Structure 1
Amino acid sequence: MDNSVKTASSNGLAFNPDVAALPPYNAGMNVAIARSISGRNDIARLASNENPDGCSPAVLAALASPDLEPWRYADPACTTLRGALGLKLGVDADRIVIGNGSEEMIAAISRAILVAGASVLTVVPSFGLHEIEPLAQGATVAKVAMTEDLGFDLTALEQVISQGPRVVFLSSPWNPVGPALDRPALERLIAAVRPGTLLVLDEAYFEFADASCPNGLEVLRQSNIPHIVLRTFSKAYGLAGLRVGYAICSDADLARVVTAAKTPFNVNAAAQAAAIAALGDEAWMQASVARLRGERERVAASLDALGFKVASSQTNFLFFDCRGDSATLAAALLQEGIIVKAWRERGYERYLRATIGTAEDNDRLLRALEKAARR
């Protein structure tokens, strides 16, 4: 641990050193702060990978229903939602755990599986909580860097997985970079898993991927390794503000332990009702995803034409080398009323992640980048 980290408060209260040493999670900029800094009200929110189309009208109707009783405790087992997901996914409901966002599932998995000194593998650039939550349990985290062509380093991943880390956190499609593992690549990594390792495949952006990206749940179903697939309603379904994610576990015993590691009543009644309504309107989600995929390809082509090195993306965002310090460019874009996320992991300070927004907001971003490129 860095000796500069404070392990006690000014009044002598001792902190958990594993928690006190945690790096901060970069959650993106609040719109009110962006308005204050830029002096503009018309903010293009392109930092947090939210769905600019909103959510299904069925969700809004469910939230306005008199059947929603905020004064009552929500079902702690999320029985109806787990049943609906089980039917959709073709798995037993007792293998599904619902969380307050898939972030809570990452924390619960870490609490359920990891002990002090255990080893974890993830990739870098990484989704922050794949590192933060294991570190909070006293685990050590190894990270495999992306390749020069902004993809997965399969050889390096295979090598570290074969060493038997207790948990492997792997995003496909990959946040924050964008590409997804194809089926042969995923099967190759699954084959490297040794007894005693849990593979956690984070598919938060699964709905945005095209046919070249396999359904990780289906691939893992044909394996005999312990695994969890993470998915969320925050992205494609547009429920980011309500926080509903879920873990599909390889067996009911694993689901039981992950459930025990979360808090009771963790998913509120409004969130459960919204998620059930969203599942009932798949047509809305699919139409939104189709539009965003088209915008993603258009914006990627435009960035390439401007000379930026853009990672392949199967998500609703683009990750690109901005040819200089990304924080400097992000600050300039903010003055134009555009919020993006400058990546600050060591070695990747030249990279910027931009959400695919409305066509209008995407055009604002491209105009601002063109202007910056001319300077």
Structure 2
Amino acid sequence: MLSGKKIAANPELYFNPHIAAVPKYNAGLGLAAARAASGLEQIARLASNENPYGCSPGVQQVLSGSSVEPWRYSDPACQRLRMALGERLGVDPERIVVGNGSEEMIAAASRAFLSEGAEALTVAPCFGLHEIEPLAVGARVTKVPMTADFGFDVPALEAALARAPNAFFLPSPWNPVGAALDHEQLARVIAATPESTLFVLDEAYREFTSDAIPDGFEMLRESARSYVVLRTFSKAFGLAGLRVGYAICASVEIARMLSAAKTPFNVNAVAQAAAVAALDDQAWMQAAVARICAERERVAGELRALGLRVARSEGNFLFFSVGRSSAEVAAELLKAGVVVKPWVEAQYQAFIRVSIGAPIENDQFLAALAAILRPAAAGAA
């Protein structure tokens, strides 16, 4: 049995060694910190994959109204939201669990289905919490690297799944890379997943995908696998600050396990009401997504024109290599009032993930990046 470790400053105090060992989450820089660091007022916030167009007018009405009593506890079962989601998805609401962002569902899945010595499988580069949360409960994490052309290595995933890991965390679209599994690839991965493995398919960016990308939930529900599909209101619906995500589970039993592994009253009342309003306004969401996707293709083209290797993306972000320390380039961009996310994961420190913002933000980013790269190009010549 693992015992806690002593803290040098207080020999009587113990702490969980699994928590102490987890890597720090690579969060985007906030507005106040970016203004302080750059000395600029106009900041292009392109690090956290937020919706640059805000949220639906229906959500704004909820936020400015008086329908929520903040002195009352929120509904711990998120009944109204789960009913709305169940009706839209054609799923028994008892199989839906709502979280304080889908990241809480990642933590709940790790607590409910992993323990010390268990194995979690994911991809590299990975979404930080797909590694952090399994490590926090003492599991070991195996990562399958992306291919040279920024795609999923399906044969390597099949080989890793043959070892029957306890849980499989797979993002599609893939944060931070952008790739998404097509129908044939996803079918192969589902077929390779043992019945004893919990398949956690993270579809946080589902709304941004093209018609060529299948609905992972629809494919999984037709399989005999144990699965959890994660989705969120943070991205396409513009509710990142309110923190609402959800898990669609293969069975009521899995949903009960997730519910038991989260805290009660985990989603506040305002967030629940806002999510219902957002779900009711599909037209606003789809219009915002269309604008973001058009900008994504424009920005990708401009980056390639600068001679950069850019991954094809089905999300609201782009992943590209600058050929040198991404942290140094990100620091230079910050001086110009642009916040991006330099990737810090081993083997990928030359990569940057940039969110797609409004056109004016994207232009600010492209101009700043071109100015940074120009001296390097001149020196090479």
Q: Normalised by the shorter chain, which TM-score bucket?
A: over 0.9
Question: Contact 1:7–1:16 at 8 Å: present in 2 too?
Answer: no
2:109 corresponds to which residue? Answer: 109
Counterpart CA distance in 2 for 1:115 and 1:345 is 24
Counterpart CA distance in 1 for 2:195 and 2:183 is 22
Residue 34 (1) aligns with residue 34 (2): yes
Which structure 2 segments of 5+ residues have no match? 376-381
Q: Which amino acid aligns with 2:343?
A: W
Query: 1:8 Cα shift?
Result: 2.3
Q: Residue 71 of structure 1: SS of its match in structure 2?
A: coil
Q: Which amino acid aligns with 1:79?
A: Q
The normalised TM-score by structure 1 is 0.98
Q: Which runs of 4+ in 1 moved over 4 A?
A: none
2:133 corresponds to which residue? Answer: 133
1:69 corresponds to which residue? Answer: 69
Query: 1:365 Cα shift?
Result: 0.9
1:290 corresponds to which residue? Answer: 290
Q: Residue 374 of structure 1: SS of its match in structure 2?
A: helix
Q: Which amino acid aligns with 2:10?
A: N
2:56 corresponds to which residue? Answer: 56
Query: 1:7 Cα shift?
Result: 5.1
Counterpart CA distance in 2 for 1:219 and 1:83 is 22
CA gap of 1:101–1:7, structure 2 versus 1, over 3 A, is farther
The two structures, once aligned, show a CA RMSD in angstroms of 1.0
Query: 1:195 Cα shift?
Result: 2.4
Q: Deviations over 1:194-225 (max 9, x none)?
A: 12100000000000011011100101011000
Counterpart CA distance in 1 for 2:8 and 2:240 is 34
Question: Contact 2:125–2:176 at 8 Å: present in 1 too?
Answer: yes
Question: Contact 2:195–2:224 at 8 Å: present in 1 too?
Answer: no
Counterpart CA distance in 1 for 2:267 and 2:105 is 12
Question: Contact 2:232–2:246 at 8 Å: present in 1 too?
Answer: yes
1:84 corresponds to which residue? Answer: 84
Q: Residue 86 of structure 1: SS of its match in structure 2?
A: helix
The normalised TM-score by structure 2 is 0.96
2:9 corresponds to which residue? Answer: 10
Q: Residue 97 of structure 2: SS of its match in structure 1?
A: strand
Q: Deviations over 1:58-104 (max 9, x none)?
A: 00101222211111111000000000000111100000000000000
2:217 corresponds to which residue? Answer: 217
CA gap of 1:7–1:160, structure 2 versus 1, over 3 A, is farther
Query: 1:10 Cα shift?
Result: 1.2
Residue 228 (1) aligns with residue 220 (2): no
Question: Contact 1:244–1:267 at 8 Å: present in 2 too?
Answer: yes
Residue 93 (1) aligns with residue 93 (2): yes
Q: Deviations over 1:280-320 (max 9, x none)?
A: 10000000000000000000011011101000100000000
Residue 367 (1) aligns with residue 363 (2): no
Residue 169 (1) aligns with residue 169 (2): yes
Which structure 1 segments of 5+ residues have no match? none
Q: Percent identity?
A: 60
Question: Contact 2:178–2:314 at 8 Å: present in 1 too?
Answer: yes
Question: Contact 1:6–1:20 at 8 Å: present in 2 too?
Answer: no
Q: Which runs of structure 2 are paired with 1:250-329 in the superposition (5 Å)?
A: 250-329=250-329
